Amino acid sequence: MIDDVVKVVLLALIEGVTEFLPVSSTGHLIVGTALLNVDAILTPGFEIFNQVGAVAAVLVYYR
């Protein structure tokens, strides 16, 4: 359980750092998922919520 939380936090950090840089944040997320050995079933939902979080942050920032 704790191991999964650490993996999710690491993936969220990867997404957060690379989202607004001129690099592929989704590509980095895919590589991070492979390196951390995350279940493929959980990743689509995680990616969706992660992208929604990034969009929400932009909307709040530029509000």
pLDDT in tens, 46-55: 778 878 888 8
Which residues have a Cβ under 8 Å from the Cβ of 47 and sit 6 or more positions away? Answer: 26, 29
- State the pLDDT confidence band at 60, using cuts at 50, 70 and 90: very high
Please give the model's pTM, rounded to 2 decimal places. Answer: 0.69
Token pair belonging to 3 = 């191991």
- State the pLDDT confidence band at 12, using cuts at 50, 70 and 90: confident
Question: Is 25 within 8 Å of 15 (Cβ atoms)?
Answer: yes
In whole angstroms, give the CA distance from residue 32 to residue 20. 17
Token pair belonging to 57 = 């942050």
